[in-house]
Structure 1
């Protein structure tokens, strides 16, 4: 847990996030917390630059009810790495990548190392009038190697550096960003690659057998007709480690169960239900991911 002075800094940072970006909850992770927030408003361009480390920032249905959800958070990763989760999908952002996060649905952001990113509020009507935004577009990773992604970064930086944009010009810049991202998003919707379809199949298989003790890389490879080495490479291409993904998926499901668990329900039973046969290992892994013990987590979310 953070020291008292660190906790005060954390609370100030979270209050600033809630004031500028909407209603969020958060918890510190293992390691020293750092958090800074810079905001900028140029008429239609409403954005925040978040610099932080060792924290989990998230929105549940409770936070969504307290805030206007008529937005997409368009996240431009500038430095470091960030993990985003929404609709049971996860993506890992590296510097130069972009993602879209639907403000009307629960989401979670993990920063386990120093990360810096810009979050731009994109009005839902502006995006949906040009795109059919469904579940497929929740937390897509738009790779930094794509020309339209690179142009979007440049347009955003140029717009941020020009504080004299008129209201009409800032609105035009926002529409231009959507136009730049549109072909990338449409391509993802229409023609997912064979590799992407295979990855989705593997992730679905993991979810289907998440409670099984036999859920190991060797078993997954055998079930999907690939080598273990190819399985590892597939997850690495998505910024993930297969064993770590399975463990984190189980921990997230345990956390969901703990939020609804009765006081007399045994913590070890919850961990065992989701594939943790050793309570000590479950408790240690849970604390590493969420910064607190399973029992403390249940009390906090009661």
Structure 2
């Protein structure tokens, strides 16, 4: 898969940026700021007084999910309010390897050590840093991919999650397996499959954390939502899936079903539609040259292909057929 490497050792000593959040002199920090903005999103940086920053960042693309390994000397990163909202909603999942990192967002502060991971949202200001040289694996993924599995992910940010037991261990172990295959070109279908499985395992490990699950809603409400989601995902390909059927299968009234979704910012029908579009996008990422748009549409529960294509383009900015086109391009033998 595509591999990019950035290193402060490849740039001159002076790069024209300061060493503090707002003023000072440069020691590789300006270059690193540009690299961080390109790889993740805009942040202010600060490092030790008078020390030249030594950093390296390796980046791999997993078809919509980005995997990176960041290593550098002590650094503080700050995302300001003016940095937020200028791009698609993104999440970072950080797994420190050598030392503890500190993180504050949404009024919560936490310390995350090796053996743990945390979530950072691009939508809200935050502070992130480490006082000693460190290295970490970082996953960057669109909010929509995780929201389709766990609901609004903001309530999971700025909390530490254990990756040494339970589903957290499974997520960590699978991530480690993926990192060992970073530089092997398995093809776009395999990359998309790895990305989907990583997100699924991440969602399961987040759900397992009791504080996060009960941070904004009651345990009873979350139990209902978990049962609703399980049923919907199992029957997503059924075009007759409706709020009435969902409520009946979940053992609750239709009125209570709508009440559960009242504070999510979307209706039950909108949520199901988002799940279907996300499922279709993932299926297209794994498709082969014989797959048709109609198969994808019907497999995701859309009864009308034209309606599906319109909704898909509106959400993702391109038609579903555009994701299939490269798979059908003729392969010409090399000229002799």
Matching of residues 59-74 of structure 1 within 5 Å? 59-66=79-86, 68-74=87-93
TM-score, normalised via structure 1 length:
0.56
Structure 1 CA distance, aligned partners of 2:213 and 2:37? 36
Aligned to 1:99: 118
Give the conservation status (yes or no) of the 8 Å contact 1:97–1:143. yes
Structure 2 CA distance, aligned partners of 1:146 and 1:58? 31
How many angstroms does 1:57 deviate by? 0.8
Instruction: Choose the corresponding residue for 1:108, options 127, 131, 135.
Output: 127
Give the conservation status (yes or no) of the 8 Å contact 2:94–2:136. yes
Structure 2: 5+ residue runs without aligned partners?
1-17, 216-336
Aligned to 1:172: 193
Give the conservation status (yes or no) of the 8 Å contact 1:59–1:106. yes
Instruction: Choose the corresponding residue for 1:137, options 156, 160, 169.
Output: 156
Higher relative contact order (CA 8 A, sep 6+): 1
Distance 1:83 1:30, change over 3 A: farther
Give the conservation status (yes or no) of the 8 Å contact 2:167–2:205. yes
Structure 1 CA distance, aligned partners of 2:45 and 2:203? 32
TM-score, normalised via structure 2 length:
0.51
Matching of residues 126-205 of structure 1 within 5 Å? 126-162=145-181, 163-188=184-209, 189-190=212-213
Distance 1:55 1:14, change over 3 A: same
How many angstroms does 1:78 deviate by? 1.8
After superposition, give the CA deviation of every residue in 1:129-160 in whole Å (9 maximum; x if it has no partner). 11122543112211133232222222223223
How many angstroms does 1:30 deviate by? 5.2
Structure 1 CA distance, aligned partners of 2:71 and 2:150? 30
Q: Are 1:38 and 2:75 an aligned pair?
A: no
Structure 1: 5+ residue runs without aligned partners?
193-302
> Secondary structure of 2:141's partner?
strand
Give the conservation status (yes or no) of the 8 Å contact 1:26–1:57. yes
Moved over 6 A (4+): none
After superposition, give the CA deviation of every residue in 1:242-285 in whole Å (9 maximum; x if it has no partner). xxxxxxxxxxxxxxxxxxxxxxxxxxxxxxxxxxxxxxxxxxxx
Give the conservation status (yes or no) of the 8 Å contact 1:75–1:98. yes
Aligned to 2:76: 56
Aligned to 1:121: 140
Aligned to 1:297: none
> Secondary structure of 2:163's partner?
coil
Structure 1 CA distance, aligned partners of 2:81 and 2:176? 33
C-alpha root-mean-square deviation of aligned residues, in Å?
Answer: 2.6
Whose radius of gyration is greater, 1 or 2?
2
After superposition, give the CA deviation of every residue in 1:168-191 in whole Å (9 maximum; x if it has no partner). 222222221222222332233345
Give the conservation status (yes or no) of the 8 Å contact 2:63–2:195. no
> Secondary structure of 1:148's partner?
helix
Q: How many residues are aligned here?
A: 190
Structure 2 CA distance, aligned partners of 1:83 and 1:30? 19
Matching of residues 227-266 of structure 1 within 5 Å? none
Distance 1:88 1:31, change over 3 A: farther
